[in-house]
Every structure is written in C-alpha cells, then in structure tokens.
Chain A
C-alpha cells in the first residue's frame, strides 16, 4: 500500500494567558477536502508531534463549521481567517497556525474576543424597543438601504478585521472596524436611527472612528466581504455632520 500522505502543521502554542509561546509541529493524515478545523480535530484525537512526543491537545475554538459564527478565527499562514473554511488544498504547506494576538490569548489558538462585545456596547449596537410607548407592528425597512443593512448584519464579530488592522492592538485604543461599522447598521434601522446622534457621538470619542488610519486591511480580510471601508467613509461623513450640529445647534 502506498504510504499515507500527510500535511505538516506548525502551530504556535501557549499554555496560559501569561505563558511564553512556543511552536510544535504535527503531521496530519491527508484526505480530500480537509480543512484546518478537521485537521485540528485529528491532532486532538492523536496529539503526537513529529518527534513522536505525546503532548497536550491543541486548544482552539469552533462552532458552526460553515463561516457563520466567527469563532474559529485564527492566523493561518500569516493571515487572519476562519479555520473552518480554510481548505488544506488551497494553503501553502507546511501550514502555520497562530492565535490572533490582537486579542488576549487564553490558551494555544483560543483567544478572548469579549473586547468586541464591550465595543458594541459602547456604540450602542442595539435597537431600543422598551419604553413608555406602545409596541406595535415592526416598522418597514427602507427598501433602498435594506441590502446594505443585510450585508452589514452578516458581521459575525470574528475579529479578522481587528487582527489585520495595524491600528488595533495593545498600543492603541481603537475599537476596530467591525464594531464601528455596526453603528451604521443600527443607524439605518427605522427605529435604531432615533439613537443615531448617540452612536455618532460615541464614535467621536477616543478610540472611535478617528483612530482609523485608512490602511484598508479590514475590507481585504473580511470573510463576509462587508464593504467596511465604504461604511467607514460614510460614518466619517456622518460624524463630521454631527460635529457641526454639536457646535452650531447650541
């Protein structure tokens, strides 16, 4: 029988949040259609390095396995992307895996992305429905902006854009493209637009949209192909108008 074809993985590992990173290499049996998540599952089943040393299985996060949830975002061959839709056949080998270090690393490839949730809270990434008013039928969406809203609503807060953005990281307080652009989604909403000035004012604060440096990496790496730079420019327009209102309306 012909020898089993294998795929070499070079994985950047880390035992805990403050532990020193190190690399380990694994050979995974090749099969057609193999993706990075499936390969990591193989490693989990048989966590033996190429030197034949049995080690602790590699820790990572995944959920939907169809590029919808965003959980399996990691740095694959130097680029931030989803592991579930990264086909081995389309990647240069050996395949390098590393955690997205823009976020705090919990262990191995597992990262803590809760900072994005905090940012969504900052920009009021929701629609206010509870109040003293009567809740009637849902308002109709503007048919001219519904396509745009649908597109932005695809954002799965995977964090690819934050990982690729040179202005996001411990050296900066930028909340990143994904949470920023979500403000535009909720400003488009027929009820959410009532709070548009609130969101725009939040974006004008330190770490908001002004921290964008126009490197445009976000739009290049977005796995959902959201036109982030277009909406960032739109939000820039909107915050400028808001600033004029802030100055001249009082």
Chain B
C-alpha cells in the first residue's frame, strides 16, 4: 500500500509553506529596498549577482521553478475538487477557503505573465538586467500593470498567510478551536503587515 495521494498532498503543503513562502519573503525583502531609492535596490540586486551564475541558476530551478510548478499544477487539481459555497455558508473560514482558491487562480495567470515577461523574456532572452530603472519604467508607464502587480502580491501574501493557518490544521499542529483561532489571528496580522510593506515599496516608485 503506497499512499500516493497522501504524500503528494503533504508535499504540496510543505513546499507551499517552506519553499514558496521563502520565495515570497525574498521578494518582499529585496523589493522593499526600492524604498531606499535606485542605489539601494540596485545594490541589493548586485549582491545577488555575486552568486556564481551556474549556482544561481540551479537555485532558481530547484528552489523556485520546480516547487512552483509542482505546487501550481497539483494545486489546480486540488482547486478543481472544490465547489466554493461562501455565499451559502458565509462563515469566516469558508470565505478564506474560497479566497485561497480564487487567489490561486489569479496567481496562476499572474505568475505566468510575471515570470514569462521579467525572468524569461526580459532577463533571459533580451539579456536586460533587472534594475530599479527597469521596474520604475514598468510601473510608472502603466498604472494597470502596477495594479495587477499589487494584486499579485496581495494574492500571494494572502495565499501564503492563510496557508500557515491551514498548514497547522493539516499537520495536526493546532488541534483545538482556541489555538486555531490564535494562529489565524497571527497569520492575518502577518498578512496585513506584508501587504502594507508591499504598498509602501510599490508606492515608492511613484514618489521618487
């Protein structure tokens, strides 16, 4: 008896929280350098360039591409098994359950665009390095792009933070309703803080 479904589900949960959660933190950390202006962000990007190219590529493939593809593709399969009913059963957790799936659908589309345009096309094919000037131009030239990017960040942050709550349930860490509520409140707080940081660094492109 080999429980493929069980291990895939648990892997999906682990990958989402630990690996992709790390990717979100890295993005927020690096991008928040934009608050300090062009020099600060470009400095942070240059720091990453210090990692030898083959190693950096290996990290990108093993720690981002493969986990993201697995989490995304298996996640679509999971999302298709749900018949969201928050309008019928309007409990808080049920809304979060539905939002977890709606943000997932948005992220599938958003990430194809984001990775396809910035990493594969801009950096990979045209060879243009990612810089403060490039992002400044990308966001200030098109308010729609900015809004879609902010929504993308919000979706990823919510998906991650709600994922912390459900991770604690799925792994049997938080069993009773009281501890589940405490964890839900803490992850909501984290969600709000991360969203605010996102708004600040995205807004900084328009101030300077």
Contact = CB atoms under 8 A, between A and B. Distances in A.
Interface in B137-189: 165-166, 169-172, 174-177, 180
Contact of B81 (A79, A171, A205, A239): A171
A173 B82 CA distance: 11
Given A204-B3, A233-B174, A240-B172, A79 B89 contact: yes
Interface string A173-184: 110000000000
B98 interface: yes
B183 to A, nearest CB: 11
B128 interface: no
A206 interface: yes
B88 A78 contact: yes
B89 A172 contact: no
Contact of B175 (A172, A221, A234, A246): A234
A169 interface: yes
Interface residues of A, number: 41
B82 A213 contact: yes
Contacts of B177: 219, 227, 229-230
A69 to B, nearest CB: 24
A220 interface: yes
B81 A174 contact: yes
A142 to B, nearest CB: 18
Given A217-B89, A236-B170, A243 B82 contact: no
B93 interface: yes
Given A171-B80, A233-B169, A233-B175, A210 B5 contact: yes
Interface of B: 1, 3-7, 9-10, 78, 80-85, 88-89, 91, 93-94, 97-98, 100, 165-166, 169-172, 174-177, 180
Given A166-B85, A206-B4, A215-B94, 12 more contacts: A166-B84, A204-B6, A207-B5, A208-B6, A214-B166, A230-B177, A233-B169, A233-B172, A233-B176, A238-B172, A240-B10, A240-B172
Interface of A: 78-79, 164, 166-167, 169, 171-174, 201, 204-208, 210-217, 219-221, 227, 229-230, 232-240, 243, 246
- Can you list the 6 inter-chain pairs with the closest CB atoms, starting with the nearest? A237-B172, A215-B97, A236-B172, A172-B81, A204-B3, A204-B6
